[in-house]
Amino acid sequence: MPLWHFPVMTLRLLLASVFLGFGPLTTSLLLAEPPNIIFIVADDMGYADISSFGAPDIKTPNIDRIGEEGIKFTNIYAMGPECTPSRVSFLTGRYPQRVGGMECAIGTGNVGRYDDAVQLAQAGDLGLPPSHSVLAPKLKDAGYHNVIFGKWHLGYEDKFSPLDQGFDKFIGFLGGNVDYFRHEELSDIDVYLSDREILNNRKGYTTNLITQDAIKFLKESRKDPDTPFFLYLPHAAPHFPFQGPEDDDGTMPSAEDWTKGTRGTYLKMMEGLDQSVGEVLEKIEAIGIAHNTIIVFTSDHGAMKPGLNNPWRDYKGTLFEGGIRVPLLVRWPAKIAPGSTSDQVGSLMDLTKSFLEAAGAETNELNLDGEDLFTLALKGEPTVDRTLHWRAKRSPRIWSATRHGEWKWIRKDDDGHVSEWLFNLNKDPYEKDNLLERQMTPRQSATHAMLKRTHEDWEASVAPSR
């Protein structure tokens, strides 16, 4: 058939299969079968907390298998060093700063942690407004059935419910962390819900419950095999409280002990998460949908201790690499050849456009800040330089950063005490040599000025409307 006889979307996908290094595609697949999408997000997991990214003590064969049978991305960033902003970015495809009040994790009990967030919380308006959501609504418009099982952390108020943001089903918790056995947080707010109904008596370990919900959904999805689905699994693990699957002593940890944990307990939590991933992989294979199902695994940002972010500098809450560099594994047998690795710089914000493009949804009019990461990574050309910006507020501290190609600039304003760093990540990927502490070359000085100016322009461009 001549190319001009294909519909526009089919032609675009057909050309992609030629140019982008995808595996062979049949015309019937292009015409009739949008992929199912399963998006698994670990919570507070470090870059080096899975085997394939260097974990020295944790075995994660099921998570690793996603990359072995697909592609392993090594140069991916979260768009915030905490939970809420990162989740905003990949559900909107835009910088979280555009929303307003979402540059910091919403505090337990619906607490704002910097000026704008405090004001929004006082007004009962701290959360992700449905008008900003992009990923689930646009997939729904494209004919998808969307479900979420796990952590939301994008607003306690009912008006911020996932059910108003493109999801057809929600079972999970609204806040940032819950006891893994009692499913309660350290506040007086009921946070574990089934759709809009409070679940007070659910029994079991959170990771296992999320998995059970996912498996049940996958079984039921076979009743309507012609409807593609988006299954979003934002896990609690390995976020504190640090509790392994067998660690229930009948009581919740105290507030003092809530964030304390050992590497041994963390290991058990991660291996429980890996088992969960294995069960999902087994189920999609058993029901015969694995070939055209995109399955993605990542973390929402870097780990706090006892997680490991090796070899990167520092931890969650900072804009050094350890706070924002995350592993990303993608499997899509219909299109992605197994055993691939990509060093393409990208972000979790890119997944919005990547998923929508894969689903055949139109993205040109959405004004997304992210790119189609699958296209960038698989086109068989040298990696493309990216410019990415961050700002993270938690009173009295403000972190700012810009990465432009090989250069990265970081600024920390700690209640008026300002520190700055400039790194060449090609020469110094572990951020040990702050060029601002030495006599810089003219090129380095010009780069420093350019990065600061570029960041200021970006801040002006993402000013929120509320």
Q: Which string of DSSP letters, residue by residue, matches 92-135?
A: HSS-GGGTSS-SSPPBTTTB--SHHHHHHHHTT--B--GGG--H
> Which residues of the chain fall short of a pLDDT of 70?
1-32
CA nearest 152: which of 117, 186, 178, 180? 178
Q: What is the pTM of this model?
A: 0.93
According to the model, what pLDDT value does residue 289 have? 97
Note the pLDDT of residue 13: 37
Give the other-Cβ count within 10 Å of 432's Cβ: 8
The one-letter amino acid code at 237 reads: A
Q: Is-contact 266 301, C-beta < 8 A? A: no
Query: Which of these, 376, 385, 428, lies nearest to 405 by C-alpha position?
Result: 385
CB 300 within 8 A of CB 419: no
Q: What is the pLDDT of residue 428?
A: 98
According to DSSP, the residues that pair with 37 across neighbouring strands are 230, 294
Tokens of 445: 């000085």
Using CA atoms, how far residue 278 sits from 47, 215, 282, 283, 396, in Å, is 20, 11, 6, 9, 42
Q: Please check whether residue 52 is in contact with residue 67, taking contact to mean a CB–CB distance below 8 angstroms.
A: yes
Whether 301 is catalytic is no
| Cα separation, 154 vs 176, whole angstroms | 9
Structural element, H or E, at residue 329: strand 325-331
Indicate the residue type of 146. Answer: N
Alpha-helical segments (H) within 125-230: 135-141, 206-221
104 has catalytic annotation:
no
Q: Which of 83, 132, 389, 455 is catalytic?
A: 83
Q: In this structure, what DSSP letter does residue 165 have?
A: T
Reference 232, options 151, 335, 348; nearest CA is 151
Q: What is the pLDDT of residue 380?
A: 74
- Percent helix / strand / coil, the chain, rounded to 5: 30, 20, 50
The one catalytic residue in 104, 132, 145, 153 is 153
Looking up tokens 């407004």 gives 129
